[in-house]
Amino acid sequence: MNKPIQRSRKRSTASGRNVTIKDLAAELNVSITTISRALNGYTDVGEKTREKVVETARRLGYTPNRNAQRLVTQRSHSIGWVQSDDDNKFVDPHFVEVMAGVLREARKDHYDIVMTSENPQRQLATYERYVHDGSVDGFIVDLPRPDDPRITFLLEAGVPFVVHGREARSERYGWVDVDNYGNFYNLTKLILANGHKRFAFINGDEQFLYATTRRQAVYDALRDLGHSPDAVMYLEGTHPMVEAGYQLTELALAEPSITAFLYSSILLATEGLAAISRAGRVPGRDVMVASMNDELQYLNLGPLEGQITYVRSSLRTAGSALVAEVIRQCERKQISGTLVPSVFDLGDGVDGESIAGDVELVGA
């Protein structure tokens, strides 16, 4: 009898067998080769036959079995996106925005996105398994940290992947990023140009690179424009961000010398605005508020119109670019970096030009 220890098996669909390439071949009295080649656009099948084939394929509701295709072609047409199961970290509203772009682009190119979450210690094993077992052709890597072990692993495994953000080795892999440095450099310049002598900078979690880069940009701008580093009160908000926005702003409000607020995320900024209002200060008149705006679709900035100056950059666009890049790699093994565009929107009473961030394409 040879029973398995623990498995049980059953067909997945309630209805009977799906129609296969063999059924088509039988129906038309041609070989399965001809069916396959007709459907895949090869030139060695006669026009009449091809027409008959596609017609009956449609009529019988034929859909090629994806797993058979994957097995023989050794390509899954799927890309993997593994999330950190690190409780709060992964549940970030920014993430959904990126995902919207990722899904849309993937659909357009007929790729699937396969997702899992895994705690950081076991993540490498997950990447390894996914690529060994043929589940995916490449990966999206999110929120890179300095010397990110995931990147190290993927680089030496020689697997296609794209990183949302950059670290030291960014020459060697494909990436998509916003111009963190340029944007925060310019925002700082803008604040100073508007006559503010001291401001608070409420940054994101510095364990992620985007935050480090932004801090660097702010201090560089201060130095280049001849201001002391003391002109900024630097505050770091850890994930999840929202609580930090309110509390850190309250902290900064205690110092009267501070007349401007710079936020690393619009999420921090909206909370900050609440704190500012509650303290009886009015943004745009008493204080200047500047921020990075990632265009979170669910956040309506209407009520805040004019109260806030920001650099706008679409995370959704970044998401699309991510999968475009990783697919490009899967299909012809060349890597490139993409800087997503940024545009400035000035709040009321703020002087300056609406500098548009560069759109750059590194590599080819």
Least spacing, CB of residue 59 vs a copy of itself, in Å: 15
37/145 with CB nearer a copy of itself: 37
| Unique residue bearing structure tokens 């656009």 | 41
Backbone angles phi, psi at 141, to 5 degrees: -115, 130
Backbone angles phi, psi at 352, to 5 degrees: 150, 170
Which one of a copy of itself, DNA, none interacts with residue 32, CB within 5 to 8 A by kind? DNA
Of 26-34, 93-101, 105-113, 119-127, which segment contacts DNA by CB under 7 A? 26-34
> Which residues make Cβ contacts (< 8 Å) with residue 93, sequence separation at least 6?
267, 296, 298
Residue 156 lies near DNA (rule: CB under 7 A) = no
Closest CA to 271 of 248, 296, 239, 302: 248
Give, as one character, the DSSP assignment of residue 173: S
The single residue among 35, 50, 97, 190 that binds a copy of itself, judged by CB under 8 A, is: 97
Residue 63 lies near a copy of itself (rule: CB under 8 A) = yes
Backbone angles phi, psi at 310, to 5 degrees: -145, 160
Which one of DNA, a copy of itself, none interacts with residue 300, CB within 5 to 8 A by kind? a copy of itself
Of 2-10, 24-32, 206-214, 258-266, which segment contacts a copy of itself by CB under 8 A? 2-10
Least spacing, CB of residue 323 vs a copy of itself, in Å: 12
Residue 285 lies near a copy of itself (rule: CB under 8 A) = no
Give, as one character, the DSSP assignment of residue 207: T
The single residue among 30, 39, 157, 362 that binds a copy of itself, judged by CB under 8 A, is: 157
DSSP 101-137: HHHHHHHHTT-EEEEEEE-HHHHHHHHHHHHHTTS-S
Of 57-65, 175-183, 280-288, 344-352, which segment contacts a copy of itself by CB under 8 A? 57-65
Interface positions, 5-24, toward DNA (CB under 7 A): 7, 9, 17-18, 20-22
Say whether the peptide bond before residue 256 is cis (omega within 30 degrees of 0): no
